[in-house]
Structure 1
Amino acid sequence: MIDATKLRSLRTDRGYSIRRLADAVGVSYQTIRRLENGDDPGDLPLRVLARIATALGVPPATLLNTDPATQQHDLQQSIGGTILSAPGINATTIATSLGTSVDAIHTALPGLAEVLAEAGLTLSRHGDTLRINPLHLHATPEANTKPMTVNEARLLRRIHRGDDVRRTLSKTDRELTLPSLARAGLVDPTTTIPAPPAALFAVP
């Protein structure tokens, strides 16, 4: 369903009157007014939603009324995937990459840390930089202090996305990267299946 508050706010921010927006979209004045009053039965054609979004210069999903808990969960997954792709990335860069605010990133981090802990991983912060590392509950002291390398993060992310990497492993990944992830307890080296849930770091 259309989020009436978002629609009204975007329209006024862009200097549209209700009638001018209706004309740009090709619908009646009453249609836009009804949507802004929260009278949306949920049967608005997708092509009309797309035209409204185009007129306002936003993705169609921006206009939809999404459950806050779902939004937060999706943001946490996106942050996790971004950190795995670029270990040592900072919150400002993540916010820019995901098109959100730095405050939103910091708000989502505690929840992400809880999800990671359940999967046997930890969110490490060094100043403003962020890394995802294994908890190493049964690892050697050396492994406990060793940060995840870029190659390890990239391979782990591919595995978590469900990619069949067994036939495409480079010599370095086969001889060094995969064994290192296996010692950390993050993958099963015989099947190359990740220990944590496969959908944990999916990025839409």
Structure 2
Amino acid sequence: MAELSALEDPKIRAVNQRHGDDHGVNLSKLRAVAKDLKVQQDLAVQLWGTGDTAARLVAILISRPKEYTASELDAMLRDGRVPKVHDWLVNYIVKKNAHVEELRTAWFADPDPVVASAGWALTSDRVAKAPEGLDLPGLLDLIETHMKDAPDRLQWAMNECLATIGIHHPEYRARAIGIGERLEVLKDYPTPPNCTSPYAPIWINEIVRRRTLVPAD
């Protein structure tokens, strides 16, 4: 904790706070701390218990994902609501845990929009990697009905799922693009140069274009 405190940078904290993250540690330096610690499950649990955002990010990086129970991960997600903690927890821990599908289905329908956003993020992962058994037209129906008025983080996750369906499933591409065009979610999102817009029609078309380019010899 002292080491993390020494890495605190007020300028980084100011930038992070604009995105809802309450820590001021450069992520490269934070990752270096975790690399030095290596995997230590007991320490990870202790660091998580501090409630400190930087400590929780380190905890995620030094965890053994398979050692967490479903109830532990559920409690961690509901408690770890800072965006970066939420994102790393889902991507670095939950996706590698044996209970991922159980948690995906439980979180997907949760009334808490932050929890539901995790369910949608995991659903996007399945859409891309293991879509068997998913009702893709049903997902598009839900997105079309609810995404426009969803809270920000849930809206972002639903939009990602919309784009993922359009990118990976050509049979639903036209409908996915059409939904994006009608709802106009994130259409005006500020996008840095050389980055792809999160507006689903642009996102879908750009990734599909890249994938259809013939590699140079």
TM-score by length of 2: 0.28
- Greater Rg over alpha carbons, structure: 1
Which has more helix, going by share of residues?
Answer: 2
User: Which is bigger in relative contact order (C-alpha 8 A, separation at least 6)?
Assistant: 1
Which has more strand, going by share of residues?
Answer: 1
